Amino acid sequence: MMIKPYVRQGEGEEAVSPLQWMDGDMSSPDGDASDSSHHYRAGGVQQDRELGSEDAHEEDEEDDEEGQEDENECKRRGPKKKRVTKARQERFRVRRVKANARERSRMHGLNDALESLRTIMPCHSKTQKLSKIETLRLARNYICALSEALEGGLSTESRAFMETLCKGLSQPTSNLVAGCLQLGPGSGAVMRPEDRHRVRAAAAPLGGVVSYSSPGLPSPPYGTFDSAHLLHLRAMKGGVYENHSPNEYNAGGVGTPPYDGPPTPPLSISSNLVPKQEPSPHYPPPHHYSPSPVEQGLYQTQTGYDVHLEGPYDSYHPQHMPPRQITSVYRD
């Protein structure tokens, strides 16, 4: 079964309401409409429920009795049930179809807005699309991190900046962020240039101190980096959480965030790295001998970032080798 392609409203096929199926011979729609037959099934169940109270009950008697009074019904107590005429059923069907189209359009608009949000994320990637929830979380973290950069002089190249960005994110997303920000001094791919410009411009009139020449990140223990743990320590010491509103983190006097998402697992830089098959333009292959990309320490993240790792590598026994350290990150 093929899933119905993402069809914009007005771009193609007309949505078919479950009612159209129900109105028919109860056979699932064929042709294009069968692509989402599960929806008809799902809708059909709900449609039974919907019509069950009055419409479906009276469906049998509606046609010939339209306009006539049922004596038995007159004697019934309670509000008089509306008769289900074909016209009424048709009105309902049309209303439902229109409502479905509106809802689709609304969700498409929501998705468009989400997509535009994705594009301004600090680690926007064409190859690894952030999920909706991760996009929202990262956006929230990004705003917090930039606010801290403006207010407190937090370096955008500092570990704290990355910790703030990674707060509450899933491991793949944390790896994505790490792949973009995991740099030492002089690496040059920490922050999007336009964002640097924005921060600088915003900080200038405020007298904000925005440092881009921080000592840089200490070489992380390659493979594991428990940002959640560090964040927690910072919070206990009055770290990054101080900038947040009291009711956000201190509700109930606990001092811990009400929701940090799932516990951030240890950040594994390596888990998101795959051997880079093609030589990076930044690393033209030597003419004589060309060691494998892995041997060269070249990896490509799923986000399109090229990572260079420093240290020896034994392709036959990689598990016995000491962890190599990320020395530079390039973007394709």
Partner DNA sequence: TAGGCCATCTGGTCCT
Partner DNA sequence: AGGACCAGATGGCCTA
- Residues near DNA (CB under 7 A) are 1-4, 6-7, 15-19, 36-39, 41-47, 49-51, 91, 95-96, 98-104, 106-108, 111, 129, 131-134, 170
In DSSP terms, 301 is beta-bridged to: 273
**Min dist. Cβ of residue 50 to DNA (A):** 2
Task: Give yes or no for a contact between 250 and 171, defined as CB atoms under 8 angstroms apart.
Answer: no
d(CA 142, CA 265): 19
In DSSP terms, 326 is beta-bridged to: 309
Task: Give yes or no for a contact between 41 and 27, defined as CB atoms under 8 angstroms apart.
Answer: no
271-278: Cβ within 8 A, 24+ apart: 271/171, 271/175, 272/172, 272/175, 272/176, 272/178, 272/179, 272/301, 272/302, 272/303, 273/179, 273/299, 273/300, 273/301, 273/307, 274/299, 274/300, 274/301, 274/302, 275/299, 275/300, 276/300, 276/306
Task: Give yes or no for a contact between 190 and 181, defined as CB atoms under 8 angstroms apart.
Answer: yes
Rank residues 8 and 198 by Cβ distance to DNA and give the closer one.
8
Rank residues 302 and 327 by Cβ distance to DNA and give the closer one.
302
Rank residues 21 and 161 by Cβ distance to DNA and give the closer one.
21
**Min dist. Cβ of residue 7 to DNA (A):** 6
**Min dist. Cβ of residue 12 to DNA (A):** 10
Rank residues 262 and 286 by Cβ distance to DNA and give the closer one.
262
List for the chain the helix, strand, coil content (%; round to 5).
Answer: 50, 5, 45
**Min dist. Cβ of residue 47 to DNA (A):** 5
Task: Give yes or no for a contact between 169 and 263, defined as CB atoms under 8 angstroms apart.
Answer: no
Closest CA to 177 of 221, 229, 223, 134: 134
**Min dist. Cβ of residue 167 to DNA (A):** 16
Closest CA to 299 of 265, 271, 260: 271
Rank residues 50 and 195 by Cβ distance to DNA and give the closer one.
50
Rank residues 102 and 282 by Cβ distance to DNA and give the closer one.
102
Rank residues 117 and 150 by Cβ distance to DNA and give the closer one.
117
**Min dist. Cβ of residue 117 to DNA (A):** 12
**Min dist. Cβ of residue 246 to DNA (A):** 25
CA distances from 332 to 172, 182, 196, 304 (A): 19, 16, 19, 6
312: exposed, middle or buried (C-beta count within 10 Å: 0-12, 13-18, 19+)? exposed
Token code pair at residue 89: 């059923």
Rank residues 62 and 195 by Cβ distance to DNA and give the closer one.
62
**Min dist. Cβ of residue 278 to DNA (A):** 20
